[in-house]
Structure 1
């Protein structure tokens, strides 16, 4: 059986024919060794057709279609023009070898050309790729490199832009910035406390929250101007009228030193900067929650947005996290402690970043390691679902969270938890039911529209029938009127004739 080869190059599609090759008797190692020698390889494989791409955009579209396993119209025309036609009811005497099995199945479905993609064919295509510049004689030196480089850049750029919503790099940068802002806001707020305490030292004990302290210091400005009129304003900020009264009373009897107006201006400006940073941190957290809902909804539903984002950031990407086994995910973030324990032959750590989850905090001391191992297993499953699933949903993450809750009850009360297989079946059934419910209103609306169309058609027919009946009745009435007029005219003529005859007879 003759063997044709389809080679997708950056500059176009190439069809080659392999002569005198017995696939059954060939040794793969022998084929690999013979590929390097062009004199031997050129006798066996010869170029039959080459179809260059029209432009760089056309090359990108064609290669995207090949990677997705779709045969384009250009590729179909190349195959039909240069390969023998396949007759119905007869076995073809040739086969097409290619590198993409999905593309081969699509070609066979459309054109009935038998395709194969095995190790033998891949070795032949590797030889074609190695000596491709010798097959195409019109190519100038450097053309292949330029076309490959341009296509590689455009192809990788298109793949990066494939799904903008699921770019996990945004989550990594956001969680890094949130951690940095937490440290900066904490240190800046402490600096505000130390700076303003020279003027109003009693305020530190009354207001404990850093953000609230900065707002109150910005509002008070000079403690000597504090009066009972400030109580409503302070109540709005603090949320407690008793605290507001306490602040006013403490300001009246404060032992702090007075500050010059320019010093107070600087303190207030710095307090405003701390407040702005805290507000920006809240907005950034909301952005992170929204991005986690797009990128890893199940992992976020299971373990929380912040812990899930830290796991993705520490692993490098969601794909890397999905590739990690649950044992690695369990101690992710505790690498120093692990290597120290391995070096000193001590106890290895039981948890890393997942320690910040509420599940481990709720477990008893003897069960923390067990629940950490179980939670890492569920996190690994959730990350893989988020990474490789087509549709984003939180159904799996919620069910996995229920499983962890059941495991905690099992450790405390001995209640037997559900099996993982049963839980996953429930999720799949619920998702299928949701899809059916989404389809039902569409079908119902389509049926209603059909009924409305049918009713409107019947009404139109009735109206048309009524109109036609009215027209017919009008025609009949007109005909009757004409007949009556004609009969009256005839009767008048007859009467006139009779009168004339009677007159002539009388005269005679």
Structure 2
């Protein structure tokens, strides 16, 4: 049985035919010993055909297709032209050796050409790679190395760009920055409280919120200057007129020490920095919510934006999270407790980062482990839908959330929840119905626009006919006037002739 070898080089596709394989007996050790010697290897493997790539972009597209296990149209035509034709109903008397098993399976499905990829084939392809410049005579020294270097750079650059453009990297950085900002804002706000309390200690008990405290301290500045005129401004900040009056009264009777103008300036500057950080934190949170709605809408709808972003960040990417089984996703974030329990042979943790979800907090103590396992299962489904689905939709996440709610009711009241298969079928049917409705509306709008165009054309034709008729009428009228003028001139001529005759 003859064997052909498909070799994907940086300059093009090469097809080689292997002879005398029956004598070798497909022994990989014999091939390894003969690979380095070109005189021996050239007797076994010979070049059949070579198809060069048209450009560097074409080479990059072909290599990307090969790495994904996809046969392109160029490769299919190259194989069909140079391989022996297979008659219908008969088994082919040859096989094709490939380095990628996925590519071989795709070639078999599309062209019915039997393919194989094993150690023996890989050793033969290694020999082809080693002596490829000797098989192609038109190649100049250094051309193959340049093409390999250029293709390697473009291929790696494309992969890096694909990695950078993955939006989950932005989510990972945003959630890290949010956690850092929360810690920094908390510590800075406590520092503002301690610093300004030397001047106005009563304000701490009246205003509990850190952000509001920084705004109020920035507005008040010196407590000795507080008057009733500040009540409207304080009411806008605090949202309560009674609190504003209480702040003014406390400022008038405060026991705090006076600060120098320079100290007050430093306190106000620091309070302004804390306010700016808090405002930036709100903007960053809105940015994170928007990104999560684009990347993982179902996961965000199921478990929330913050918890979903933390899961993606801890896993490293959305793809890694989708590859995790639900048992691993359940204890993400509790690795230390898990290894400590395995080491001491104690109880393993029931939940990790998903503990911050409201579902686990609503469950009773005995059902927390159950609902954590169930929630991890649904999160795994949602992350896989978000990672591998073509379009972004929150329909699956909303239905999965309803399932978790039903599971909580089942634990509390014993109401039987729906099965996951039925729920998923319902979501798919709803999405298909929506797509059909959208298509119908688009077609209807297209028909309406066509009717409007047809009506407009008819109206234009009618207007043109009317304008032509008007022009004809005007022409007729102008022709009649000319005729009447001619008639008048003729009558005048006749009268002149009569007068001349009478005179004569």
CA contact (8 A) 1:360 1:372 kept: yes
Q: How does 1:107-186 map to 2 (within 5 A)?
A: 114-119=112-117, 123-124=120-121, 126-137=123-134, 144=144, 147-162=147-162, 166-186=166-186
Partner in structure 2 of residue 396 of structure 1: 396
Alignment of 1:116-265 (within 5 A): 116-119=114-117, 123-124=120-121, 126-137=123-134, 144=144, 147-162=147-162, 166-265=166-265
How many angstroms apart in 2 are the aligned matches of 1:4 and 1:457?
65
Contact 1:35–1:41, Cα closer than 8 Å, also in 2: no
* C-alpha separation in 1, matches of 2:295 and 2:462: 58
Provide Cα deviations, 1:112-148, integer angstroms capped at 9, x if missing partner. Answer: 964333335x842552244323132256777655544
How far is the alpha carbon of 1:102 from its aligned partner?
7.4
The 5-angstrom pairing of residues 378-389 of structure 1 reads 378-389=378-389
Work out whether residues 98 and 104 of structure 1, in 8 Å CA contact, stay in contact via their aligned partners in 2.
yes
Alpha carbons of structure 1 residues 164 and 72: separation in structure 2 relative to 1, 3 Å: farther
State the Cα RMSD in Å: 3.6
Counterpart in the other structure of 2:280: 280
The whole-number CA distance in structure 2 between the counterparts of 1:236 and 1:463 is 65
What are structure 1's unaligned runs of at least 5 residues? 475-508
Q: Determine the C-alpha separation between the residues in 2 that align with 1:105 and 1:342.
A: 43
Structure-1 residue corresponding to 2:368: 368
**Alignment partners' CA distance in 1, 2:228 and 2:266:** 26
What is aligned with 2:31?
Answer: 34
Distance in 2 of aligned mates of 1:347 and 1:240? 50
CA contact 1:378–1:400 (8 Å) conserved in 2? yes
SS in 1 for 2:131: helix
Given the superposition, is the C-alpha separation of residues 123 and 49 from structure 1 closer, same or farther in structure 2, using an over 3 Å criterion?
same
- Structure 2 CA distance, aligned partners of 1:107 and 1:325? 32
2:498: which partner in 1?
none
- Between 1:123-132 and 1:428-437, the stretch displaced more is 123-132
Q: Report deviation, 1:396.
A: 1.1
Look up the match of 1:499: none
How far is 1:5 from its partner? 3.0
Assess, with a 3 A threshold, how the Cα gap between structure 1 residues 188 and 459 changes in structure 2: closer, same or farther: closer
Contact 2:226–2:251 (CA under 8 A) maintained in structure 1: yes
SS of alignment partner, residue 17 of structure 1: strand
Contact 1:165 1:294 in 2 (8 A): no
1:359 deviates by 0.4
- After TM superposition, give the deviation of residue 453 of structure 1 in Å: 6.7
Cα pair 1:105 1:115 within 8 Å, conserved: no
Unaligned runs of 5+ in 2: 474-504
Pick closer, same or farther for the CA change 1:365–1:32 going to 2, 3 Å. Answer: farther
Match of 1:71 in 2: 72
- Tell me the CA shift for residue 316 of structure 1: 1.4
Task: Give the alignment's TM-score, normalised by structure 1.
Answer: 0.81
- Partner in structure 2 of residue 501 of structure 1: none
Structure 1 position 389, deviation (Å): 1.5
Instruction: Using the TM superposition, give the Cα deviation of residue 288 of structure 1 relative to its aligned residue in structure 2, in angstroms.
Output: 1.0
Task: Report the more deviating stretch, 248-257 or 4-13.
Answer: 4-13
- Cα displacement (A) at 1:461: 9.5
**When the two structures are aligned, how many residues end up with a matched partner?**
464
